[in-house]
Structure 1
Amino acid sequence: MEISARNALKGTVKAIVPGSVNSEVTIEVAPGVEVTAIITKASCEKLGLSEGKEAYAVIKSSDVMVAID
């Protein structure tokens, strides 16, 4: 994966709270350290996110995105 954002924190999906349009995704990047992002429900499904799966919290400016390998 190559990305222009400078901060990509690898971790494990700890929780997903699906909504009608958006999903709240919490990624544990270190023991007791979590990053939470709101992404579209469609993006969550396209990435195949589920609890226990490895993912990245990608931080650029004020946005937190989610990525996978």
Structure 2
Amino acid sequence: MKLSARNQIPGRVTAITPGAVNGTVKVDIGNGIIVTASITEEAIADLHLSEGDRVTVVVKATDVLIGK
């Protein structure tokens, strides 16, 4: 899979929480860091996602905010 997005981080799915329309997918990217993504239930099914799967987290954003 080739993408123009440069922020591609490999990881492993640790949890999938289904929802009515969107589900939550947690991905361990190493060093105790978990990235959480909200994606459609249809996308979860199309990707055949399961806990333990190796995946790539792709971050593409026009804004990145930091608060303190």
In the alignment of these two chains, the number of paired residues is 63
Aligned CA RMSD, in angstroms, stands at: 1.4
The one-letter code of the counterpart of 1:52 is G
CA deviation digits over 1:8-34, x for unaligned, max 9?
A: 111000000000100100000103111
Deviant stretches of 4+, over 4 Å: none
Aligned counterpart, 2:52: 52
Q: Which has the larger radius of gyration?
A: 2
Unaligned runs of 5+ in 1: 64-69
Offset at 1:62? 5.4
Q: TM-score, normalised by structure 1?
A: 0.85
Aligned counterpart, 2:31: 31
The sequence identity of aligned pairs, in percent, is 44
Aligned counterpart, 1:16: 16
Unaligned runs of 5+ in 2: 64-68
